[in-house]
Structure 1
Amino acid sequence: MNRPLRRLAGVVALLFLTLFASTTHVQFFAAEDLRAKPTNSRQLYAELGRDRGPILVAGGGQVAVGTPVDDAYKFLRTYPSGPLYAHVTGYYSIRYGTSGVERAQNDVLSGTADRLFYRRLSDLVTGRQPRGGSVELTIDPVVQQAASEALGERKGAVVALDPATGDVLAMVSNPTYDPNALATHDAAAAQEAWQGLLADEDDPLTNRATGALYPPGSTFKIITSAAALESGDYTADTLLDGPAELDLPLTSSTLGNDEGTECGPGGKVSLIDALEISCNTAFGSLGMTLGADALAEQSERFGFGQELQIPLSVATSSFPTDLNAPQTAQSAIGQFDVRATPLQVAMISAAVANGGVLMEPNVVRTVRDADLDVVETRSPQELGRAVSEETAATLTTMMRAVVDSGTGTRAQIEGVQVAGKTGTAQHGEGLPPYAWFTSFAPADDPEVAVAVVIEDGGTVDSAYGGRLAAPVAKQVMEAVINR
């Protein structure tokens, strides 16, 4: 064979080897990753041919179920209470993949999870059609309904937690959407629904409870109070400077109070009274005294900066770094670049309610196989100690004062002690503030911790957390206490 032919043969052999290696990589090494891609329509077609397992809420009600249909896919995913649970269940769509629990627990629901190995092996031996497992959520349908009705048509979110376990009792985001519109096998109808949701400026596909970051406003004063108490230099009765306006160093700007007045006689106010009336100047001054590092450390102990999978993905709440004195004062009242999800704000109250121990939030209680045998039951997990028991007890007393006679009186429940904190977060000049409220009840034996945020809920002057968000939290707490 002459030299040119040998070279050509070598090139052809190299091409065959490259093709063989590439095919081997795709078929064996990359196969699982390719199958798991949410956009892999072939995988969705295969899964739609199976009896996908249901998603249930506490008590057994089905909120996502496979319905037999007479078409090529055999089963249609349906959501009996669609919009009410949309941001928890997510959607399961031929064209647009999955979201929410449908994505987070897809391997269980489709029957491909390693935890269901023996079930799959049994199906293979017996020749039975593979079926998916079921996922039971921690969501309480009574509490979920109460949260949805209380929030109404207003844009925002509600989260309710069991302080002792971290279980999510309710998670509502508004505006919502109907996942049935995306699950349809009519491709044209699904596309029309999808495009409509993408075009909606209110972004209904976003789960505001876990996926949106807001300035927490004065709800953050719980953390600033905790940092002060944990330092050992302050008690609830320690007097703070609370003038009508606080001069901010390094700038000609000032920090003022909502009412434009000083917070106590002679511009002095106790820590407990400062929280009760939400005195900005007192907490701004306190924040500068404590320092940015102390506030950052305390916020981290409450969960800021931690990546969470509950198993829904959660945006990471954050406390800013490299702060100067004026920025520290603003951050101490939950402004500047402090950002938190409603879930995170609920975690603050839950940790205080739980004696200072922060529990890991969770939305899945039990996983079962197709024969309803329990495969996995979630046990409560501690994320760490946010504050000491003594500090938690003091914070409870301070938060009770907020509801008893301060800015949060609209959250009062007859015969029940409620602890809470209002928040009114600025996010743009001339824009209505975000109205916040976070709380727990009963304060002496907590059953539920709640966070509520309402976007653009009123005029610039009226969108206060105590006025708008506190009544929503009240209805949610009552639903838990009275169930």
Structure 2
Amino acid sequence: KKIPGIYAVPLISRYGNQALARHIVGSTRGSVVQGDVEIGLKGIESLYNEELTPAEPNVNVSVVVDGRGELLKGGNLHLRGERGIPARGKNVVLTLDKDVQQTVEKVMDKHADKGAAVVIDIPSGEIKALVSCPSYSYAQGFLWGEEFDRSLNLYHPGSVFKIVVAAAALAEGVVEVDEKFECDGRYVFQSGEEISCWKEEGHGELTFKEAFAYSCNEVFVEVAQRLGSEKLEEYAHLLGLEEGITGYTLQDQGGVVQIGNLQGQIGNAALGQDGVTICPVNLAALAAVVAQDGVYQKPSLVKEIRQPNGKVVKAIEATTPHRVLPSPVAEEMQSMMELAVDEGTGKKAQIPGLGSAGKTGSA
């Protein structure tokens, strides 16, 4: 039944059922200030709450009518503030690519109960996808475990940290890629303590390059002793593992690398355990350093702030890229990471016909 003066019109929801990047975007649900104006609770909604809040919270609706005062069919409704200002806040433009983000989320939802995935553009450092699994429903809110943004939390990286050890050792000249080692399945310290290789019977004789590809613990514990804790910390910092994310100051600092001086502490750190916690975004940026021939670009997540009409009011400038590894060292690392995927522990990540490189890790 029609009621004079009452019209049903479609309303665009702030969050739809197909909303992407829910952890990083955050939400406004649960808290209000100044009447009906919601404040951001998490993520971008919280960090850029001031920019996203409408200048005119009290909304009027303007319509187009005919000479009889009847609403014109097909006419648009306009939401305006009390002074005629559009009742919308500014727009925060992210670096995320909708298609890439959507694809990665679908893959994660299908194949992972929990985890994180990061896609970084080379050479810009722009984050094109940032996914934490499981996701959650805006309507239902968080369920247990869903509130954690695994893409930005800190974790022991495991053997992925061997990228840092290898790069530092090659740059400092304490090892050569073709230097030969003997792995019998364990490394024994002067104190009598020992660290086992994941391959209990040992890898036997292998080069440093092969030790990287097969993720030999014994060899990397040995090489880490040659470097020492100070050099390991120096290169972790140099390679950007403690950096934050441009445009996302909720993540001012990346990982934490504080390694003790005891042999066992250095050995465990070489395996990405004791004293080493890293954010997945920083690990993606680390891989990008190798891919960019030794040049580091700090990851970025926010491009600019725009008025509702599209006018840019603030550009978020990316940092200047700078060299952190000699080009020859980066080229050697590329070859080692390719071998890890072609023949080593990362075979499952191999992409036939395209080529791929990487480093496995577990912790």
**TM-score for the superposition, normalised by structure 1:** 0.62
Corresponding residue for residue 159 of structure 1: 118
Are the aligned partners of 1:283 and 1:332 in contact in 2 as well (CA < 8 Å)?
yes
Are the aligned partners of 2:247 and 2:316 in contact in 1 as well (CA < 8 Å)?
no
Alignment of 1:257-336 (within 5 A): 257-265=197-205, 269-311=206-248, 313-314=250-251, 316-336=254-274
How far apart in 2 are the matches of 1:206 and 1:344?
A: 18
SS in 2 for 1:423: coil
Evaluate the alpha carbon distance shift between residue 229 and residue 364 of structure 1 in structure 2; reply closer, same or farther with a 3 A threshold: same
How far apart in 2 are the matches of 1:259 and 1:94?
A: 51
How far apart in 1 are the matches of 2:236 and 2:285?
A: 11
Evaluate the alpha carbon distance shift between residue 154 and residue 386 of structure 1 in structure 2; reply closer, same or farther with a 3 A threshold: farther
Corresponding residue for residue 105 of structure 1: 48
Q: Which residue, 151, 159, 171 being the options, matches 2:130? A: 171
Q: What is the total number of aligned residue pairs between the two structures?
A: 321
Deviation at 1:316, TM superposition (A): 3.1
How far apart in 1 are the matches of 2:317 and 2:246?
A: 15
Are the aligned partners of 2:245 and 2:301 in contact in 1 as well (CA < 8 Å)?
no
How far apart in 2 are the matches of 1:424 and 1:125?
A: 57
How far apart in 2 are the matches of 1:406 and 1:231?
A: 25
State the Cα deviation string for residues 417-453 of structure 1 (Å, max 9, x = none). Answer: 211100111xxxxxxxxxxxxxxxxxxxxxxxxxxxx
Are the aligned partners of 1:223 and 1:299 in contact in 2 as well (CA < 8 Å)?
yes
How far apart in 2 are the matches of 1:147 and 1:205?
A: 19
Alignment of 1:32-181 (within 5 A): 77-82=14-19, 84-95=20-31, 97-98=39-40, 99-111=42-54, 127-152=84-109, 153-181=112-140
Q: Does 1:221 align with 2:178?
A: no
How far apart in 1 are the matches of 2:101 and 2:81?
A: 40
Deviation at 1:226, TM superposition (A): 0.5
**Runs of 5+ unmatched residues, structure 1:** 1-66, 70-74, 113-122, 182-192, 426-483
Corresponding residue for residue 446 of structure 1: none
Are the aligned partners of 2:346 and 2:358 in contact in 1 as well (CA < 8 Å)?
yes
Query: Percent identical across equivalent pairs?
Result: 29
Evaluate the alpha carbon distance shift between residue 258 and residue 286 of structure 1 in structure 2; reply closer, same or farther with a 3 A threshold: same
State the Cα deviation string for residues 372-413 of structure 1 (Å, max 9, x = none). Answer: 122334443236433122211110011011111111111111
Are the aligned partners of 1:240 and 1:286 in contact in 2 as well (CA < 8 Å)?
no
How far apart in 2 are the matches of 1:180 and 1:375?
A: 32
Deviation at 1:274, TM superposition (A): 0.6
Are the aligned partners of 2:243 and 2:282 in contact in 1 as well (CA < 8 Å)?
no
Deviation at 1:253, TM superposition (A): 2.9
How far apart in 1 are the matches of 2:134 and 2:202?
A: 39
**Runs of 5+ unmatched residues, structure 2:** 1-8, 33-38, 56-79
SS in 2 for 1:419: coil
State the Cα deviation string for residues 13-44 of structure 1 (Å, max 9, x = none). Answer: xxxxxxxxxxxxxxxxxxxxxxxxxxxxxxxx
How far apart in 1 are the matches of 2:221 and 2:16?
A: 48
Deviation at 1:131, TM superposition (A): 3.0
Are the aligned partners of 1:350 and 1:358 in contact in 2 as well (CA < 8 Å)?
yes
Structure 1 or 2: more helix by fraction: 1
How far apart in 1 are the matches of 2:226 and 2:310?
A: 57
CA RMSD between the two structures: 2.5
Are the aligned partners of 1:90 and 1:179 in contact in 2 as well (CA < 8 Å)?
no
